[in-house]
Structure 1
Amino acid sequence: MKQNKYDDKNFFDKYSNMDRSKNGLKGAGEWHELKKMFPDFEGKKVLDLGCGFGWHCRFAIENGAKSVIGVDISEKMLNEASNKTESENIQYICMPIEDIDFPDNSFDVIISSLALHYIQSFEDILSKISKCISKGGDFIFSVEHPIFTAQGTQDWYYDDKGNILHWPVDQYFTEGLRNASFLGEEVIKYHRTLTTYLSSLIKAGFEITGIVEPKPAENLLYTIPGMFDELRRPMMLLVSARKK
């Protein structure tokens, strides 16, 4: 069964109170880098996998996209996305990312923000993406960085006074399931090496056009507690690629 943590009321309420949930793209620490990787959306057909509240769907439409389909497993997330959406050119579909089955060459751009580390098989979803994206189409995604996911617990090591010592990295080359803690809840994620992410893209017929390990936006360093600690290790990996 595919994981659907976001329809749990307690977890959803916690997620909804995060800065990135309340403030949208400007509250996302990686947005200042991710938006640079997006292509020209003018006249494009766009797919957003794991669209959540629909921030990227609406951004694409606001920047000229012809149509956008947002896919997410969570009804609660999509209800919120619908409430925030006025454009008739955005369609939200409630289904697991793993179950997509769009016709060949359906989209010019495919986006996925912080969702693919919840998917067990990166290769399988890449095969589906490669099928439904047109030749020359752009695939842009963000995931939690392999350094962030390797240990599994996703927390710092502290001294006996509660001060941060360092970020643990262990079992890096052992890919697979991790029981992580997110918002005080246990969440299943999947760890992959940087090699797996990049080589899988190449094998699936993509040309890598950009790689960024983003630092937090400078303005957020002074407005969100603990954000300076995010400069001590990469939390996210951003990748852009083009279908050959």
Structure 2
Amino acid sequence: MEFRGASVYEDEEFFDNYMKRRTRPVSPNNIIEKPILLELIGDVKGKRVLDLGCGDAEIGVELLQQDAVEYLGLEGSKNMSRVAEKNLEETGGQVLQSSMEEWQPQAEQYDIVLSRFALHYLADLESVFRNVHRSLAVGGQFVFSVQHPVLTSTTKSAEASGRRADWIVDDYFNQGERAEPWIGKKVIKYHRTVEEYFRLLLAAGFIVEDLREGTPRAENFSTREEYERRLRIPLVLMMSCRKLR
């Protein structure tokens, strides 16, 4: 069985195993992607924030503590939405259960739109980028992370068992659907090149202000061995974009 979009999180066994992995202090989400995300977003005081594919919405709790005036998490999974709602209970933040494909924003509703490791599950990224642009106020910022294209290019490395020390890059320019084994399930992701992400952003009306590939920082790792292993291949592609008009 293959899972698309957020549907895999409705499988209880997968969801439990995922949450155990996701909340580890040594998760790459926490020690590689998150510090860069916060750096790219910068000061959120007085800002209205939308989080596409918000997951557990822990980042929303942090941004509200940093004086963001509004936080809405958009999440397609019922299980994940319940976790997000619980985390946001006493913060004033909100969660809307909806897929990104079904989301229809109002114009100029947010100052910051962010998305973390969610956009590579979408077949139609062009429409979502256009909606993000519409939802932002002039001068607004769009910051997102996706699994790096050298990893989504082929599932050969993901199909191997054990702790990987090297990775296979293949079929890089053959963009499209990949069925990747992940935590005991087959999950559909969409491979795009770095060039394609860039071109789709330009077509939607954005300018790209910054691009990062998740360069590991030694101070965030508990062991030298893990730090050096993470230096071998990029796990994440991140872009910071701006709506100028």
> Structure 2 length as normaliser, TM-score?
0.89
1:24-103 equivalences in 2 (<5 Å): 27-103=30-106
Q: 2:233 is matched with which residue?
A: 233
C-alpha distance in structure 1 between counterparts of 2:17 and 2:108, whole Å: 38
> SS state of the match for residue 99, structure 1?
coil
Q: Rate the CA distance shift 1:32–1:143 in 2: closer, same or farther, 3 A.
A: same
Residues 93-140 of structure 1 show CA distances to partners (whole Å, capped at 9, x for unaligned) of 111111111111111100000000011111111011111111110000
- Tell me the CA shift for residue 216 of structure 1: 3.4
- Tell me the CA shift for residue 230 of structure 1: 2.3
Residues 60-110 of structure 1 show CA distances to partners (whole Å, capped at 9, x for unaligned) of 211111111101111111211222224442110111111111111111100
C-alpha distance in structure 1 between counterparts of 2:29 and 2:100, whole Å: 25
1:121-136 equivalences in 2 (<5 Å): 121-136=124-139
C-alpha distance in structure 2 between counterparts of 1:177 and 1:92, whole Å: 29
> Letter of the aligned partner of 2:124 in structure 1?
S
C-alpha distance in structure 2 between counterparts of 1:114 and 1:26, whole Å: 9
Contact in 2 for aligned 1:148/1:235 (Cα 8 Å): yes
C-alpha distance in structure 2 between counterparts of 1:227 and 1:221, whole Å: 6
Q: Rate the CA distance shift 1:67–1:25 in 2: closer, same or farther, 3 A.
A: farther
- Tell me the CA shift for residue 29 of structure 1: 2.7
> Structure 1 length as normaliser, TM-score?
0.89
Q: 1:115 is matched with which residue?
A: 118
Q: 2:109 is matched with which residue?
A: 106
Question: Sequence identity, in percent?
Answer: 31
Contact in 1 for aligned 2:5/2:121 (Cα 8 Å): no
Q: Please say if 1:172 is aligned against 2:172.
A: yes
C-alpha distance in structure 1 between counterparts of 2:45 and 2:33, whole Å: 23
Contact in 2 for aligned 1:157/1:167 (Cα 8 Å): no
> SS state of the match for residue 239, structure 2?
strand
1:176-195 equivalences in 2 (<5 Å): 176-195=176-195
- Tell me the CA shift for residue 6 of structure 1: 0.9
Q: Rate the CA distance shift 1:22–1:53 in 2: closer, same or farther, 3 A.
A: farther
Q: Please say if 1:199 is aligned against 2:237.
A: no
Residues 123-169 of structure 1 show CA distances to partners (whole Å, capped at 9, x for unaligned) of 111011111111110000000011010013443878xxx78563111
C-alpha distance in structure 2 between counterparts of 1:163 and 1:114, whole Å: 21
C-alpha distance in structure 1 between counterparts of 2:58 and 2:204, whole Å: 28
Residues 28-58 of structure 1 show CA distances to partners (whole Å, capped at 9, x for unaligned) of 4322222110132111111000000002211
> Letter of the aligned partner of 2:97 in structure 1?
C
> SS state of the match for residue 177, structure 1?
strand
Contact in 2 for aligned 1:176/1:192 (Cα 8 Å): yes
Equivalences, count: 240
Contact in 1 for aligned 2:218/2:227 (Cα 8 Å): no
Which segment is superposed worse, 32-41 or 79-88?
Answer: 79-88
Contact in 1 for aligned 2:6/2:77 (Cα 8 Å): no
